[in-house]
A and B are shown apart, each in its own frame.
Chain A
Amino acid sequence: METRIGVYICHCGTNIGGVLDCEALAKFASKLPNVVVAKDYKYMCADPGQEMIKKDIKEFKLNRVVVASCSPRMHEPTFRKCVEEAGLNSFFFEMANIREQVSWCHYDSPKQAFDKAKDLIKAAVAKARLLTPLTPLKVPVEKRVLVIGGGVAGIHAALDLADMGFKVYLVEKEPTIGGWMALLDKTFPTLDCSICILGPKMVDVAKHSNIELFTYSEVLDIEGFVGNFKVRILKKPRYVEVDKCNACSECVNVCPVEVPNKFDGNLGWRKAIYIPFPQAVPPAYLIDEDACLGITPLACGKCQEVCREKGGDAINFDMHPEVLEVSVGAIIVATGYELYDPSKIKEYGYGVYQNVITCFELERLINSSGPTYGKVIRPSDGKEPKKVAFIQCVGSRDEKANVYCSGFCCMYTIKNAILLKEKHPETEIYIFYIDIRANFKGYEEFYRRAREEGIIFIRGKPAEISENPLTKNLTIYCEDLGLGKVISLEVDLVILSTAAIPRHGKDELARKLNIVTGSDGFYLEAHPKLKPIDAATDGVFLCGSAQGPKDIPYSVSQASAAAARAARILSKDYWEIEPIVAYIDESKCRNPKTKCGICATKCPYGAITVEPNKPARVEPAKCHGCGTCAADCPGDAITQMHFTDAQILSQIHAILEENPEEKILCFLCNWCSYAGADLAGTSRLTYPPNARAVRVMCSGRVDKDFVLEAFRLGAGMVLVSGCRLTEFGSDCHYITGNVNAKKRMKIVEKILEKAGISKERFRLEWISASEGDKYAKIIKEMAEKMKKLGKEKIIEENRKAEPFLEKILKKKIT
């Protein structure tokens, strides 16, 4: 079919029309190949403008539309919808940005601005010629959801979704749900009893007809994508049948084995057959396989005997690990946190001095269902302490352990101090802190209450603790910053407020889910501000402390948010996916012959599978369309739809057709650098008009060949820019696209050096969407350098480099 293009130049009032001669631009466009009609109009985005396009599509039988107006980041969706309404595929549309990147930033040099606008229109028409129709992918959605982790966050997410009518599978590693919260005594700042408020919720989970609970279970593996995850769950044997056990505890009395109880912070003891705590859900006992004298072959079996004697038959030694498979449409990760091991900080003597304990151990001592039934005692002699010190920030806010602030330790320390003071008002309590973080509702008031009740706060991080070997009392050495003096304080008991750290095994789960962790080790959200609940993989959501340390109210809010985000998918029958995904030409893929597999290692989303002797395969539903694989494929077998090699090369050719040695060709990523360039225009920052931008979704899409081809065609300068990449991390919208771009451009630099291209003619930069000034500055610098080098030298270098570059690019030039 003949390609018939319509080009529309927008005046945007005087925004464009005041600087550029739009009529002349339309006249120029009308002479470009395949252009059937070219018009200019005051406001293309207004209804009459859109109607004009629709009318022309019918009248001139147009099958491609190009609009030269504002940034595609502004009105691309508007015009896509417009051409779709006229019966064209919405991807048969292309935009030339002559406002943000021409008239708004080059109003001081209208003649050069006009040349730039011509180039951009020419490039857009060139790309339009090669556009292909695309339809959004639709995947069916399983109306079920998996929640991993049964702490307070997981419980709330599960209940919310179950109440909405979705089937929920709740997987918990421990034999009971409830998490840390079930083990706490009271909660801050209201001092309501922790289990009293959580217990009923735990029972709700067990009773809810839409929730299937898997305790003592783990996620084995996960396959699939948004709407269609296949999950295998390993159910470990309890050796006690949950339905038959009535928790009478007769078995515990006869069990001969005693081991430390980790649910009591190892301060108390439990038997080999046990229940984690009285309010556990499901309310059933289980046998600890490692502690039991022997199950296969059976060594003791006393528990079974007594259970049968009492008329029950709950104990079953023939249980085996079971693997179950479920299909879900979305996954919520609520795996929570662990506590830092303070024995790593030698100067505090945890594990050496008996009377140095952790906050969690105190939490169990103070809890009436704990090992001492709520009596706080010194581990060395069982006596009640008269003088107690808390030390804050043990393992957090510390470059040597964890850099971040654990957030909730200040508040639980204040809570425990108040509880101690209320039980035994004569106890002297000291809290050593660096800063007190009390920044939510009622927290500051709670902090004041603690001071009013006589708790002494000392600003200063203790240097060390020493023990009196006879009394087992402890002396803390610390600078009191208020006094500016070093003090030594003898106390009976020291409590360390240990940092919250990511779960052991979080990396393994991250691999299974294909999500990433941040520099702090907690799971990373897709965007810190606007997608704080979504993980990088579509259909996976984060809540609670798995995403970073947080207290109960914050965890619960996040759990409800995660439930709502998941319901956004689950409530639909089909989920639509942008079709700008990667596509593999199986005949070109080298994997069957050479075991290549490079694409799979580059994909940040695990969307590509590579099996031996088979061509690589893309799962479109997992692909986010960054194009990194397409750029790194050594066989050029991968195409990113709507940003194909041919389309981008056609833009490069169009831009560099005339006087290439005077131009700076810029490859800018859509989310940051292109937006940054737009911002330079919006802020009316002027910069030299030699720059011409080619928009790609991600800097990871920029193929080596694009840069080399630009120089082969005689480009003066080339800039590649992506989202910010610093030593602190990457802002890339495709996680690691810019990291891959950086690696690739290092190779390009070497090739250019060999080709004899001056080093300063190629530049790699990281420009964020807010750095319009940086973009303008960089273009200014590059233009100055280009002037310094001189046209002659550039032409001479290019002439010499051409044969060398041609050799490398042989396969691309057709």
Chain B
Amino acid sequence: MEQGEKLRKLKEIKRKALICFQCGVCVGSCPVAFVNEKYNPRRILRNFLFNQSPPQLNLSNLPWLCLHCYACLERCPQNIGLSEVMFKIQHLQFLNGEIPSSFLNAVKQIIKTGRVSPVTPITERRREQLNLPKIETETGVEELKKIIKETGLKKLLFSQEEEKRSG
């Protein structure tokens, strides 16, 4: 089933890659490309023209840099919508286990504590100094865990952990 899901995503991305006539307006409009020359969303999409089967994408962390500001969709003359494509690529990479560790850590942190970054003793001390109330630990974590389980995210994360351990 996972393989079928991968193929379907790949096909959707490829369809967009086929329509793109390579004008580059997306790259010129992209705030990420403006500061990071390595990030070229047009070229990321173009690579999918030649991917025939679910590959190890080896795109490194680049697709995860997309800010989803939608400037590219706003100006794309072929209505390709690279923001949406980047979501699909991220999904595909996720299924392949190609997730930036910082992103994975953030997700785990959320599952564990309900927060993106951990509450450290330094944070607590600082809050005390500023007369801010103490942070209650584990707010709504149980509910969050339920959601993550129901949506299947937990299973996905777990199985990847397994794979990494065995491989």
A325 within 8 A of B: no
A326 within 8 A of B: no
Given that A434-B21, A484-B40, A486-B33 are known contacts, is A464 also in contact with B28, CB under 8 Å in the complex? Answer: yes
Given that A479-B42, A484-B43, A486-B34 are known contacts, is A461 also in contact with B79, CB under 8 Å in the complex? Answer: no
* Segment 412-444 of A: residues with Cβ below 8 Å from B: 434-435
Residues of A within 8 A of B23 (CB): 393, 434, 460-461, 481
Contact of A399 among B26, B37, B78 (CB under 8 A): B78
Please name the residue on chain B nearest to A481 by beta carbon. Answer: B24
- Give the CA-CA distance A479 to B41 in the complex, in Å: 11
Given that A460-B23, A479-B42 are known contacts, is A485 also in contact with B37, CB under 8 Å in the complex? Answer: yes
Contact of B28 among A393, A399, A461 (CB under 8 A): A461
**CB pair A478 B79 closer than 8 Å:** no
- Give the CA-CA distance A236 to B13 in the complex, in Å: 58
Question: 1/0 per residue A698-712: CB within 8 Å of B?
Answer: 000000000000000
Residues of A within 8 A of B25 (CB): 460-463, 478-479
The residue among B24, B29, B77, B78 with the most chain A CB atoms within 10 A of its own CB is B24
Please name the residue on chain B nearest to A433 by beta carbon. Answer: B23
Q: Whole-angstrom distance from the CB of A172 to the nearest CB of chain B?
A: 35
**CB pair B79 A463 closer than 8 Å:** no
* Segment 41-98 of B: residues with Cβ below 8 Å from A: 42-43, 75, 77-79
B22 within 8 A of A: yes
**CB pair A463 B78 closer than 8 Å:** no
A258 within 8 A of B: no
**CB pair A463 B43 closer than 8 Å:** no
Residues of A within 8 A of B40 (CB): 479, 484
A397 within 8 A of B: yes
**CB pair B77 A463 closer than 8 Å:** no
Residues of A within 8 A of B107 (CB): none
Residues of B within 8 A of A393 (CB): 23, 77
Residues of B within 8 A of A807 (CB): none
A657 within 8 A of B: no
Question: 1/0 per residue B1-42: CB within 8 Å of A?
Answer: 000000000000000000001111111110001100100101
Residues of B within 8 A of A796 (CB): none
Please name the residue on chain B nearest to A399 by beta carbon. Answer: B79
The residue among B21, B40, B43, B77 with the most chain A CB atoms within 10 A of its own CB is B77
- Give the CA-CA distance A463 to B28 in the complex, in Å: 5
- Give the CA-CA distance A393 to B77 in the complex, in Å: 10
Residues of A within 8 A of B42 (CB): 479
A400 within 8 A of B: yes
A585 within 8 A of B: no
Question: 1/0 per residue A86-115: CB within 8 Å of B?
Answer: 000000000000000000000000000000
Please name the residue on chain B nearest to A398 by beta carbon. Answer: B77
Q: Whole-angstrom distance from the CB of B34 to the nearest CB of chain A?
A: 7
**CB pair B77 A400 closer than 8 Å:** yes
- Give the CA-CA distance A459 to B142 in the complex, in Å: 54
Question: 1/0 per residue A227-253: CB within 8 Å of B?
Answer: 000000000000000000000000000
Known: A463-B29, A480-B24, A481-B22; 12 extra A-B contacts, CB below 8 A, are A397-B77, A400-B77, A459-B24, A461-B24, A461-B77, A463-B28, A478-B24, A479-B28, A479-B33, A479-B40, A481-B23, A486-B27
> Contact residues of A with B, CB < 8 Å?
347, 393, 397-400, 434-435, 459-464, 477-481, 484-486
> Contact residues of B with A, CB < 8 Å?
21-29, 33-34, 37, 40, 42-43, 75, 77-79
**CB-CB nearest 10 A-B residue pairs:** A463-B28, A479-B24, A479-B27, A461-B23, A398-B77, A463-B29, A461-B25, A460-B24, A434-B23, A399-B79
Q: List 22 A-B contacts (CB under 8 A).
A: A393-B23, A397-B21, A397-B77, A398-B77, A399-B78, A399-B79, A434-B22, A434-B77, A435-B21, A459-B24, A460-B23, A460-B24, A461-B24, A461-B28, A462-B28, A463-B26, A463-B27, A463-B29, A463-B75, A464-B75, A478-B25, A479-B26
